[in-house]
Amino acid sequence: MLDGLKTSLGDAIKKIVKSSGIDEELIKELSKDVQRALLQSDVNVRLVLEITKHLEERALNETPPPGLSRKDHIVKILYDELSNLLGNESEFDFKPGKQNKIILLGIQGSGKTTVASKLAKFLTRQGYKVGVIGADTYRPGALVQLKTMCEKSNVEVYGEENNKDSPSIVQSGLKHFEDQPLDVILIDTAGRHKEEQDLLEEMDR
């Protein structure tokens, strides 16, 4: 997904760089290209419109600082606006020396399992030690899905294929990871209200 974004944004920037001159039409075209690229990468529509509105306004109205060509300035504006969106630093508030636990909740099909594995990969790349607990006892194949997705980033997934009691899986999982120097434990759940309620009550204890 992000590779696609890189390519399409790269193409949009190339258009600007290769153009013979910057005019309003070209800026509008850049804005459209960026919109298309971001939307295809699932960026929230409102955010996309906000970014491209800023991009257009700034590209049309700002005078480049001395030493910067109009083209370079526009590329810089695009970069600014995108890093505002993506954040240019990771802001995690993990407690050092503790196993920080993140429970993924959400209605079915909302992307919990996908987020769990992407987060596992992302955090691992950032240098955090991550473990994952698969506590979705509802969806068939949930554990296999999670394990497959986490395999590539070498993150261990704890799960119990034949246990239907998610709080007990979480408990055993936490116990399993207890002696490992993990920074973060991600917990994938089924996203069913009743079960999560039990799970949260269980976690409270």
Ligand X SMILES: Nc1nc2c(ncn2[C@@H]2O[C@H](COP(=O)(O)OP(=O)(O)OP(=O)(O)O)[C@@H](O)[C@H]2O)c(=O)[nH]1
Site of interaction with ligand X (CB under 6 A): 42, 106, 108-114, 136, 139, 142, 190-191
Q: Which is nearer to ligand X, 56 or 136 (CB)?
A: 136
42 binds, among ligand X, Mg ion, none (CB under 5 to 8 A by kind): ligand X
**Do residues 169 and 137 lie in contact, with contact meaning Cβ atoms separated by under 8 Å?**
yes
- 35 or 55, CB closer to ligand X? 35
Q: How far is the CB of 168 from ligand X (least distance, A)?
A: 19
Q: How far is the CB of 117 from ligand X (least distance, A)?
A: 8
Where do the DSSP E strands lie in 79-183? 100-104, 130-134, 156-159
Q: Distance between CA 47 and CA 52 in Å, rounded? A: 9
Cβ distance to ligand X smaller for residue 17 or 39: 39
CA atoms within 13 A on the CB side of 170: 26
SS3 of residue 111 by DSSP: coil
Q: Which does 171 bind (CB under 5 to 8 A by kind): ligand X, Mg ion, none?
A: none
Take residue 126 and report the two structure tokens written for it: 């950032």
Helices and strands, number each (H, E), in the chain: 8, 4
Of these, 113, 117, 137, 166, which contacts Mg ion (CB under 5 A)? 113
Task: Kindly list the residues in this chain that would bind Mg ion in the complex (CB under 5 A).
Answer: 112-113
